[in-house]
Structure 1
Amino acid sequence: MKAYVIEQPGGPQVLQMRDIPTPEPTADEVQIRVRAFGLNRAETYLRAGKMGDITAPRVPGIEAVGEVLHDPAGVLRTGQRVATAMGGMQFSRNGSYAEQVTVLRSNVISLDDTSLSWEELATLPEAYLTVWGALDKSLAIQRGQTLLIRGGTSSVGLAAIIYAKARGLTVIATTRTAANAQRLYEMGADEVVVDNGDIAGRIGEVAPEGVDAALEVVGATTLRDTLKTLRPFGAVSVIGLLGGPPVVERLHLMQDLPGGTRLNFFPSGLLGTPALPLHNTPLPWLAREMAAGRIPSIRTRTFAFDEVRDAHRLMESDRALGKLVVLL
């Protein structure tokens, strides 16, 4: 099969198309024909050598949608439409930048009950599963609450706006550029705040009692300010590191954490583990809602399989304002 392989760290040019063997699935694995996959920052970090030394050829990619080729256990039928995310892809096994991928069955979700196109299905797995894990599991959101999304123009930020609105929350989203505000309103944000790094005062004007929950996509650089926006007993979940390394120096537990508030980091590596099984995720519902036109798409551009290097360049330019997809 054809796949992109990284043999040494570097820029997009180190993504090389190769013919490599197709791993046969074991009893707890499923082999999938990849129809499309979304692109993620994690793949650019791997490519650049920011996720450890590259001591052997690596196939990047942490999500895909496609059709089941072989399930040794017979749980999934051949030809079944499915999505997959994480489960060791690009780390302990080949990733999804390939014509086929062999993944853990626990990280496969059936998408049979939808007419949505492959390129739109490819926008769903990593972004929406991360949002689901952070909002439903870490923050336990409830209808009627107010949610701050710090870093709204990222693909996961846009997905969070859409999902939170569909769940009945009031959403305040941030962007560093005023010109991008309209994009966030189109996704469903109730209020958009231009982020200069110090927005707690502005959020206080919009939500005087504080927000019930916050989703931190920017990361350590804005976390202290995000914490200041919470009401007592509110919570923030960090899911992104767009602002740099995940280190908050000299965090003062009494001065930086408002009374009774909760802080956590949600890693998408939990997806499909015993702690967070995927048998009851919102992905099938989201696919049906998108197919019916009831929720918008976060896709901004689709690339062909031989254009992956161009896609990486666009992703690293910070001009995508949404999800980039590769269609095979």
Structure 2
Amino acid sequence: MTKTMRAAVCVRPGGPEVLEIRELPVPAVRPGWSLVRVMAAGLNRSELRTRQGHSPGVRMPRVLGIECVGVVAASADPALPEGTTVAAVMGEMGREFDGGYAEYALLPDSLLMPVTTALPWETLAALPESYLTAQGSLDALGVAPGGRLLIRGGTSSVGMAAASIASAHGVEVAATTRRKEKAGALTAAGVKHVLTDPVPGWADYVLDLIGADTAVDSLRAVRRGGTVCVSGSLSGWLIPEFEPIAMIPSGTRLTSFHSGDAAGDAATLRRVVGEVEAGVYAPHVDRVFGLDDIAAAHRYMEDNRATGKVVLSTR
């Protein structure tokens, strides 16, 4: 095995230009951790905010990337033999320790989700964070067939995954977008109603992926007694001057889903992979960038140009 690897390193907080391609030593395996040859990684807006300096607990330089897919290159765990296809997501990847923006990643065994599939690497890479977060959010909402679901931030990768899952299970789906040119992609994902603004009281459930700027408005968009789940932070993390009694209508429920709770959920990921292979769900890959183009990939995300998942190929 080669002793060095190429990695995209965030050297300091700033714009996309702070992501530099460097030659680093390949990490050594240690107890409880396995070395993964990263084949591809889904990109996420949380990585963009970390790069900008909005994650104060992250020390730089750091290899970002909260998810990846690849093969086990070395492991002391007999349940993870060399050559096993795995996916990993969250668990402080790219924050407390180096993540998926590299040719190799040393990852905790508890995060590795073995999966058997013939899907292309770039397709597989689009699934872990998006679909596990979407499924967890729909579970938190208690979405049931015949219900009405409104997705705010519908053209995000999680939004499109949620639309695919919900529509496939008999849920009537609406989604918001400010860009008319993205309406066709939402319809293809199973969205029946493409909206600029929500219709008050229409939905039984609201999945809010925008977060701080829209959470209070989402509480008015759902019917009285319905449920709002905030699972994204496209607009930031904090709701200024939030007054629960004044802002949450009586009987309406407000909950959340943290994608970190999906870490290690191999059973759900394998089910999702099977549904994608069967054509029930779509992977929603918007664009694939190479490792050398990581700065351009971040600019693409930052400009909100994607409809679905942006993927980084590390091969």
Where do 5+ consecutive residues of structure 2 fail to align?
none
The corresponding residue for 1:101 is 105
**Residue 165 (structure 2) pairs with residue 163 (structure 1):** yes
Matched, 1:222 2:214: yes
1: CA distance between counterparts of 2:280 and 2:134? 18
> Which residue type is aligned with residue 259 of structure 1?
S
**Residues 87, 103 of structure 1: 8 Å contact kept:** no
1:280 to 267, 281, 293: 267
Q: Report the AA paired with residue 211 of structure 2.
A: G
> What is the TM-score of this pair, normalised by structure 2?
0.92
Q: What is the deviation of 1:55?
A: 4.5
Q: Aligned match of 1:271 in 252, 258, 262? A: 262
Name the CA distance, whole Å, in 2 between partners of 1:29 and 1:54.
20
Structure 1 CA distance, aligned partners of 2:307 and 2:74? 36
Shift of 1:58: 0.6
Paired residue secondary structure (1:171): strand
User: How big is the shift at 1:259?
Assistant: 2.5
Q: Name the stretch that deviates more: 28-37 or 174-183.
A: 174-183
Matched, 1:292 2:294: no
Match of 2:6?
Answer: 2
Amino acid at match of 2:151: I
Q: 1:8 to 1:156 in 2, by over 3 A?
A: same
The C-alpha deviation readout for 1:20-75, integer Å capped at 9, x for no partner, is: 22223333222211001111111111111111176542110001011111221211
Residues 163-211 of structure 1: per-residue CA shift (max 9 Å, x gap): 212233211111112332222111111211113xxx3xx244xx3xxx2
Deviations 1:245-292 (A, max 9, x none): 422424241x422222221232222333xxxx51431x2222222233
Matches within 5 A, 1:148-187: 148-187=150-189
State the number of aligned residues. 310
1:249 and 2:271 correspond: no
Alpha-carbon RMSD: 1.8
Pairing 1:130–2:133 present? yes
Distance (Å, rounded) in 2 between the aligned partners of 1:252 and 1:237 = 15
Which stretches of structure 1, 4 residues or more, deviate above 3 A after TM superposition? 53-56
**Distance in 2 between the 1:5 and 1:13 partners?**
11
Q: Tell me the secondary structure at the aligned position of residue 47 of structure 2.
A: helix
Q: Look up the equivalent residue of 2:9 and give its one-letter code.
A: V
Q: Distance in 2 between matches of 1:144 and 1:54?
A: 43
Write the distance in 2 (CA, Å) between the matches of 1:265 and 1:47.
24
Q: Is the CA contact 1:153–1:180 (under 8 Å) kept in the aligned structure 2?
A: yes
* SS of match in other structure, 1:324: strand
Structure 2 SS opposite 1:77: coil
Aligned partner of residue 13 in structure 2, secondary structure: coil
Q: 1:158 corresponds to which letter in structure 2?
A: M
Contact 1:116 1:288 in 2 (8 A): no
Alpha-carbon distance between aligned partners in 1 of 2:160 and 2:35, rounded to the nearest angstrom: 30
Is residue 290 of structure 2 the alignment partner of residue 326 of structure 1? no
Checking the alignment, whether the CA contact within 8 Å between 1:30 and 1:103 is kept in structure 2 is yes
SS in 2 for 1:235: strand
**SS of equivalent to 2:214:** helix
Partner letter of residue 8 of structure 1?
A: R
8 Å CA contact retained: 2:168, 2:280: no
Question: Match for 1:65: what amino acid?
Answer: V
Residue in structure 2 matched with residue 69 of structure 1 by the alignment: 73
1:24 aligns with 2:21: no
Residue identity matched to 2:171: L
SS state at 2:228 partner:
strand
Check 1:184–1:19 CA distance in 2 against 1; reply closer, same or farther (3 A cut): same
Q: Which residue identity is paired with 1:85?
A: V
Greater Cα shift, 74-83 or 260-269? 260-269
Range that drifts further, 185-194 or 287-296? 287-296
- 8 A contact 1:63–1:126 mirrored in 2: yes
Q: Which runs of 5+ in 1 are unaligned?
A: none
**Residue 100 of structure 2: SS of its match in structure 1?**
coil
Residue 57 and residue 252 in structure 1: after superposition, are their counterparts in 2 closer, same or farther (change >3 A)?
Answer: closer
1:142 to 135, 140, 144: 144
**Change in CA separation of 1:12 and 1:167 when aligned onto 2, cut-off 3 Å:** same
TM-superposition CA deviations, 1:219-269 (whole Å, max 9, x none): 12111221112234321111112223422424241x422222221232222
Aligned 8 A contact 2:155 2:307 in 1: yes
